[in-house]
Chains A and B, each alone.
Chain A
Amino acid sequence: MTAIEVKGLSKTYGKVEAVKGVAFEVNPGEVFGFLGPNGAGKTTTISMLCTLVNPTGGAATVAGYDVVTERDQVRRNIGLVFQDPTLDGYLTAEQNLRFHAELYGVPKEVVDERMRQVLEMVALWDRKDGKVNTFSGGMKRRLEIARGLLHSPRVLFLDEPTVGLDPQTRSAIWGYINKLRDTEDITIFMTTHYMDEAEYCDRIAIIDHGEIVVIDSPEALKASIGKDRVQIVTGDDERAIAELRDRFGIEAAVREGQVTFGVEGGESFVPRLFGELGVPIKAVSVARPSLDDVFMNYTGSTIRDAEAESATAWMRAIARGR
C-alpha cells in the first residue's frame, strides 16, 4: 500500500490556479520532499493532503484513506508540523503534549512512556516543565516535531520544518528526522525551499507554478544533468579558455575568478587536462551538479529568481484586484 497517492489534485482560489492537477505516489518509509519556490503551491498541496483545504479537483489518499470522504481517518494517521507555531506558550512543554495526547485519544497507559520517548528524541526531556514561551525558536520547532509524533502517525507532514532557524538548529532538526526514519515506522512528507535540505530526501518532486516538473531521487536528478562543474586556476586564463575550445571542444568562462566549465565525468577528465592543456594549472576543483543546477535545468531559473518573480506576480495580482 502506498503511503500517499495523489491523482490530478488541483486547487483554484477564485481565478488563481494554485495547484494544477498534480499526481504522485509516496512509498511507505520514504522521506519525500516537495521542493519549490515560495508560492509554487507547496503549502496548498500539503493542506489538501492534511484535510485542511478541500481540493477543487482530483483525489488523494493518505495512509489509504481518502482526504475528502475519510477526513477523520486521515487525521488520526497523520502528524503535522506547520510553518507557523501552534503551541500554547502559557503551558509547559509537557502540558502541550498531554493536551495533544488527550485530543488524539492516545491510550492512557502509554501516554507517559511515549511522551518521554518523543521528548528525549528531540532532547527536550529535561525541559518538559518549562513554559513554552521561554523556549527559543529551535526548541519550539523541536517540541512541535515531538508533538506531531506523539500519536505515532503513519505519515508525518513537515511544512518548511527548518525555515527561520539558524544553521546549527537546522542540522539538529535534520538529525532528528534521520533518527526518526531509523526508529519509527513512518513516512515523511515535507516541503522546503532549501536546496541543501532536499538532499536528505529519498525522492523529491520539483514544483513550480503549481505543477510538478520532475520527480526522482536527488542523485538521479543530479545525474540527469550529467556534467560536473570543473574550475581551474591557471597562469593565463585567456589562453586556457582558447585551448579548451580548440583541443576539447569545451566552452569555458571565467566565474568567481576561475576558469569554469561543465564536463561529463569530471574526475577522469582532470588527468587529461593536465597532460594536454599546455597551460600551467595552479589549482583544480571538480564539483558534482547541485540541486541548484537541477532546479535551474528543469525550471529555467534559479530558485531565488523564481521566488522574486512569484513575489512580483503576487504584487501584480494584488494590484489588479484593487
Chain B
Amino acid sequence: MATSTKGNVTGPGEVVAVHVPARSLRHDLRAIKIVLHREMLRFGNDRTRLLSSLVQPVLWLFVLGTGLGSLINRGPAVGVDYRTFVYPGVISMTVITTAMFSAASIVWDREFGFLREMLVAPVSRGAIVIGKILGGALVATSQGVIILALAGLVHVPYSPSLILTLLGEMFLASLAITAFGVSLTAKIKNMQSFFGIMQMAIMPMIFLSGAMFPLSNLPGWLAVLTKINPLTYAVDPLRHAIFGHLSVSPQVVAQLNPGVSWFGWHVPVGLEIGLVAVIGVILTAFAIAQFRRTE
C-alpha cells in the first residue's frame, strides 16, 4: 500500500466508503452492459455449446444439402447448387436456435437463483431485459459468423459488402427471436416446457419461412402460411443479398429467389427488414412489460 500513488487508498482496517448513487440513465446503461457482458462471457466459456450448435447446420448444408441437391439438380433449377440455395436458410436456422437457447438461459438463471440476484437489484427491469436480449442477439450473431465463414464451400463469394449486409440482417433477426424467447421465459418457468414450446413454435416457423424451399409456385394454402410467418421476412433479405452476389440467369433467380408478394405486390427488401425491426421492438417492449409484472 505504501508504494501506491492513489490518493484515496485506505489503510488496513479502514472500510472503503461506497455510496451507491440514485438510479439514472447512466446506471441503467451500466446494467445493460454488464448483463450483456455476462452473456458473452458465458458463450465464450462454453466450448461444447459452440461446437454442438455447429453440428446441425453442417449436417443441413453438407449432408442433407448434398443428398437433396443430387435429386433437385436434375430438375428445372439447374444452375444453382441446392447447397447455395439453402445456405441463407441454414444461416437463419443457426441464428434462430442460438437465439432461442440464449433466451432459455433465463430459465436456467431462475432455476439456479441467479435471476433473483438480477431482479432484486436497484435497477430497472427494462435494463436487465434489454441486456439479456442484446446479449442473446450478439451471441446468436457470433454463432452465425462461423456459418458465414463456410460461404466459400457453397460457392458464395466472400464479398465485404455481402458479409456486412448479412451480419446486419442476422443481428436484426436474432434480436427479434431473442425478444420472443425472453418474453416466453417470463411465464414459462421450467426447461422442459420451454423446449417443448420452442420445438412447437420454431420448427413450423422454419419450415414455413422459405429457408428450405423456394417460395415460388406453392399451393395457395402453403403460400398464405408462409406470408403470415414473420420468419419469412427475416430469411428473404438474407437470400436476396446472397443472390445479388451470384452470377445466375434471371430465370433461375425468379425460380429460386422470388421474394414475397402481398396480393400481387412485390414486398421490397427494405420493408421486410423494417418489419423484422418493428416486430423486434414490439417483442422487446412486451418482454419488458412481462418482467415488470412478475415477482
Contacts and interface: CB of A to CB of B under 8 A. Distances in A.
Interface of A: 50-52, 72-73, 75-77, 80, 82, 84-91, 95, 98-100, 102-107, 109-110, 113-114, 117, 150-152, 183-185
Contact of B18 (A87, A95, A102, A152): A152
A110 B121 CA distance: 19
A109 B8 contact: yes
Contacts of B109: 88
Interface stretch (B33-41, B178-186, B189-197, B285-293): B33-41
Chain B interface size, under 10 / 10 to 19 / 20 to 34 / 35 or more: 35 or more
A50 B122 contact: no
Contacts of A102: 30-31, 33-34
A98 B38 CA distance: 10
B21 A105 contact: yes
Contacts of A103: 30-31, 34-35, 117-118, 121, 123
A105 B114 contact: no
Contacts of A109: 8
Contacts of A76: 20, 22-23, 122
A114 B35 CA distance: 21
Contacts of B114: 86-88
Given A105-B123, A184-B15, 4 more contacts: A87-B117, A95-B38, A103-B117, A104-B20
A185 B22 CA distance: 20
Contacts of B16: 110, 113-114, 117, 152
Contacts of A80: 120
A91 B20 contact: no
Contacts of A150: 18
B13 interface: yes
B250 interface: no
B45 interface: yes
B220 interface: no
A90 B42 contact: yes
Nearest to B10: A113
A52 B113 contact: no
Nearest to A71: B122
A152 B17 contact: yes
12 contacts: A80-B120, A88-B38, A90-B46, A91-B42, A99-B34, A100-B117, A103-B123, A110-B17, A113-B10, A152-B16, A152-B20, A183-B13
B18 A75 contact: no
B41 A95 contact: yes
Contact of A82 (B23, B38, B45, B113): B113
A185 B18 CA distance: 12
Given A90-B42, A99-B34, A102-B30, A75 B112 contact: no
A6 to B, nearest CB: 19
Given A90-B42, A91-B41, A183 B117 contact: no
Contact of A91 (B10, B17, B38): B38
Contacts of A51: 120
Contacts of A86: 112-114, 116-117
Contacts of A88: 38, 42, 109, 112, 114
